[in-house]
Chains A and B, each alone.
Chain A
């Protein structure tokens, strides 16, 4: 693995290499697809395990992780890149990798839908995959509030009363004077 990292460093600038729990390297946004092509064609990382994003809202960045596996070397390599986090309704943008692995299409469709990251040129990128007719903030972003959304979208069913559990138990266990038989 060290040899592979050395080979990569000859051609690409890596800003960070971590080997604590598996090997993860960080490269620049513009180099990502060429690095993936290099890893797939030259170093034998043929299997794309997953593409996913992490929302670092405090740094205003999205982290994209491409996890690759080399069946020959029996090892995994994570390629990280940081892209700018746009303010919804504007979308962040990243180059597509569907020409390297057709399976990347599905991951990119999900990222487009869930994080609002656009991959121009990726097939069916604008078709909804899981959510249909969604016009709110992409739901996997950190600033999407699930509780607020459910309170606005759904409503309590009529005829149901809810109690605060602690108050309810207190009333049950220690009924106040005069209220016991009320």
Chain B
């Protein structure tokens, strides 16, 4: 039996100038492996069609379509307010960014100013969503490299955030707390104290994760140098968010295009250089800590009482003048945006959701997986933090 190891590179097909190789499946050298849609190492309902030689990936194709619900089409036939139960379901870990982008786009087109108090509460909700999403991702990253215990710890920490979401909105996952014109309610009494308690719990878990994950010899050895994203790809492949920041680009929508109340907060985006799986993991970990710091700043500045909703027209007869706009927000995976076109009727003409995974999971992942070891495919895919429902909506 031939050994397709690192020492026998002459057995591998030649790489052409455009980075591809000729794959002759009938030669018997190659094997096709499907990673997903049912596989613990895949990030949701998608699959990778891998062509491997030895245990090295030669070609990867992303297949989506296991979760298509046609939301963009359905939204065209519902009134603006009726779409709120749909938008939050586009992304399970972070429904609040959808709610914010959709509400903000409608407010911009209809020319509605929202009260200051509502802006602060919106910022708080978005940061809480970011924190719990990073927790979920951390469990995925550790789990994909065989460290299931860390997943158990951070999911407990995530649940602490979800408990507070439940107190606030009555729902753990799909909150619909951000609505056009502001938010549903002011913060309940004693909420800020319970938030501080939660933040301390999460900080304690993060201390453990720092020790066990980032000072772990196995994790370091497996991830340093793996899944390198070339800084030249960032613009060409539409890479945004932590993936771009880990490649040395200072691109954070919270800082560069301040929305809600981010302009009044004191923070600096975390930027790193090495652009491999370890750097991206470390950047997200530090971003979660930054998020805790931001929540503390927001809580100190949020007024206890005040107007939380602007005066709105009757929701069932709400007509928005013709126009088009694009509203974006920085979510944990990158740039999340809503492109909304209205035609003066009571229904949206077109809503296009720009999920960051759209470019990351298809074009970038297909390029990134080449020459990766089969055992590292899951870790690499989790490290670019993709989420399929926003690819197919």
Residues of A within 8 A of B (CB): 20-22, 24, 46-50, 52-55, 65, 67, 71, 74, 76, 78, 101-103, 105-107, 128-132, 139-140, 142, 144, 146
Give the contacts of B154-168 with A (CB-CB under 8 A).
Answer: none
Please judge, given known A-B contacts A102-B363, A146-B73, whether A21 and B323 are in contact too, CB under 8 Å: yes
Across the interface, name the chain B residue whose C-beta is closest to A80. B324
**Which residues of chain B have C-beta atoms less than 8 A from A131's C-beta?**
65, 68
Chain B interface, DSSP helix/strand/loop, else mixed: mixed
B363 and A50: CB pair below 8 A? no
* A47 partner residues in chain B, CB cutoff 8 A: 235, 238, 240
Given A50-B354, A67-B339, A106-B359, is A130 in contact with B325 using a C-beta cutoff of 8 Å? no
CB of B127 within 8 Å of the partner chain = no
- Give residues in B with beta carbon < 8 Å to A: 64-65, 68, 70, 72-74, 76-77, 108-109, 235-238, 240, 249, 251, 256-257, 323-326, 328, 335, 337, 339, 341, 349-350, 352, 354, 358-359, 362-364, 392
A50 to B391, CA, bound (A): 12
Chain A residues with Cβ below 8 Å from B77 are 146
Q: Distance in Å from the Cβ of A82 to the closest Cβ of chain B? A: 13
List of A residues within 8 angstroms of B240 by Cβ: 47
B326 pairs with A22, CB closer than 8 A? yes
Cβ contacts under 8 Å, B359 to chain A: 103, 106
Known: A52-B350, A78-B324, A131-B65. A101 touches B236 (CB 8 A): yes
- B251 pairs with A78, CB closer than 8 A: no
A74 touches B257 (CB 8 A): yes
A47–B337 CA distance with the chains assembled, in angstroms: 14
Residues of A near B339 (CB, < 8 A) are 50, 52, 65, 67
Contact A49/B68 with A21-B109, A22-B325, A103-B363 known, Cβ cut-off 8 Å: no
Using A101-B238, A103-B236, A105-B363 as known contacts, say yes or no to A49 and B354 having CB atoms under 8 A apart.
yes
